[in-house]
Amino acid sequence: MEKMDLMIKNGIAVLPTGLEQVDIGIKDGRIHILGKNLLNESKNTWDASNQYVFPGMIDVHVHFSEPGREHWEGFHTGSQMMAAGGCTTYFDMPLNGIPSTVTEEALFEKANLGNEKSLVDFSLWGGLVPGNEDDLGALAESGVIGFKAFLSTTGNKEFEAVDEITLLNGMKQIAKRGKVLALHSESAAITNWLKEEKEKEGKFTADDYLETRPIMAEVEAVQRAIYYSMITGCPLHFVHISSAEALEIIQQAKSIGLNITVETCTHYLLFNHQDLRDRGTIAKCAPPLREKEEQEKLINLLINQKFDMISSDHSPCPYELKDPKVHNLFEAWGGISGGQFTLMSMIELAVKYNIPFELVAKWTAQNPAERFGLSDRKGQIKEGKDADFAIVTLDKSFTVTEDNFYAKHKESLYLGHTFPCEITGTINRGNVVYENGRVMDGIPNGCWVKPVGSELVR
């Protein structure tokens, strides 16, 4: 056997077919060989005895705000955080940075920063906003993973919600180029009107916030987008779906052959509206955390494999934008900081509800790779694919503290939460980027990964 660069010995690999104890030989950043009791002729060895080797997580939904708002979160701290959570590829959303990624020029500006600073691999979303329909072609050809648009008010003047005509025109262009449109689906008319009503009455509590973003607002927007997809033929990806009713509509659309996928986020599965009542602004997001009954419905839908993938929607901000002393909850930034904890959250749910680990790998790696054109090199532990792994032990627990949370701002809904597992190592294309609680120093080796059909930049 050829001499390997790295050999992972004695680990329990999480394969699409189930769990299997195999050795993994890595050479030139790829999985060169899988087998039992392989001769260990390698430059380096990782003993993974009694540990699970997952495919590196692919998080399709994070917000790193560089360029322009690196003080919120940037590629350096953000990618360290992802590595600490077993994520080897993340998809950065087109908003919150300045400029937003709505032109080819802005795309390359962001890509260059990522190539310079990111510890792990990344892909980039392009944006659909009023006025940039003519930019969609160049963005698609340059290698965006897909496009993102908002059906609700964004609160971000650099990235506005789409009007109906922009949405239809954009969907037609995106379909023509074989891309996917990701949608934040809440009705702007419903949510804005309800918010104005509350403000007139001087009502700003957690319960008031939840009432301004009801499930019907999500349902209405999802149904409308599906109708537009039927007209334009545009593939859709619904992000952070928070209600069983919206998911039921999506399942009905999929059952008649529409090209649609759907994600939810771990904060909708581990937390509920009581956390917003109890903990305030760090638990504010949009759509909001739902009542416990709805949370339980989502968990059951997950168990029954109704979601295609799980993401973090890591959406950080400086402390002052989450100031818990703010009287008006509506004024606080609406986003959960927690990209480091998605894989551990899913393992927690798997342990609690007896969900097979291969399903966790499917939701966090295989399905994202297949949906977004990366399955030729990522998403599974298989010979020939990138050597991307998250190594996990169930023999230790992990309690989130400010010291072990790698995000730029050390505040999160997850602080104080204890997971029944621990990430002991993360390997990105054969490079150990995280080991036993420590992010590896050195020159960042992450790179911009483009979907099949575009030139791969390494």
Q: What is the DSSP string of 53-117?
A: EEEPEEEEEE---TTT-TTT--HHHHHHHHHHTTEEEEEE-SSSSSS-S-SHHHHHHHHHHHHHH
d(CA 42, CA 20): 22
CB burial of residue 266 (10 Å; 0-12, 13-18, 19+): buried
Buried b (16+ CB within 10 A) or exposed e, 424-450: bbbbbbbbbbbbeeebbeeebbbbbbb
What is 250-293 written as a DSSP string? HHHHHHTT--EEEEEEHHHHH--HHHHHHHGGGG--SSPPPPHH
Burial 190-229 (b: 16+ CB within 10 A, else e): bbeebbeebeeeebbebebbbebbbbebbbbbbbbbbebb
The single-letter code of the amino acid at 203 is: K
Please, are residues 55 and 380 in contact by the beta-carbon 8 Å criterion?
yes
Q: 32: helix, coil or strand? A: strand
Answering whether pTM is above 0.85, one says: yes
The pLDDT of residue 454 is 45
The whole-number pLDDT of residue 37 equals: 85
pLDDT for res 453: 54
CATH architecture classification, 4-53+385-439:
Roll (2.30)
The predicted-structure confidence for 233-291, as pLDDT tens digits, reads as follows: 999 999 999 999 999 999 999 999 999 999 999 999 999 999 999 999 999 999 999 99
Separation of CA 85 from chain center: 12
35-55, pLDDT tens digit by residue? 998 887 788 999 999 999 999
Euclidean distance between CA atoms 259 and 194, whole angstroms: 32
In the 8-state DSSP scheme, what is residue 364?
I
Are 73 and 316 within 8 A, CB to CB?
A: yes
Domain ranges for the chain, please list them: 4-53+385-439, 59-371
* Spans in the chain with pLDDT lower than 70: 1, 324-327, 453-458
* Distance, CA of 424 to chain centre: 21
**Residue count (the chain):** 458
CATH topology classification for 59-371 = TIM Barrel (3.20.20)
Q: Write down the pLDDT at residue 221.
A: 98
Q: pLDDT per residue over 154-168, tens digit each?
A: 888 889 999 999 999
d(CA 22, CA 14): 10
Q: Is the dihedral of CA 261, 265, 268, 269 positive or negative?
A: positive
The secondary structure element, H or E, covering residue 424 is strand 422-428
How far does CA 185 lie from the centroid of its chain? 16
Q: Whole-angstrom Cα distance, residue 400 to residue 185?
A: 31
pLDDT over 90, % of the chain: 91
Task: Give CA torsion, residues 22, 23, 25, 30, to 10 deg.
Answer: 40
pLDDT of residue 38: 86
Phi and psi for 220 in degrees, rounded to 5? -60, -45
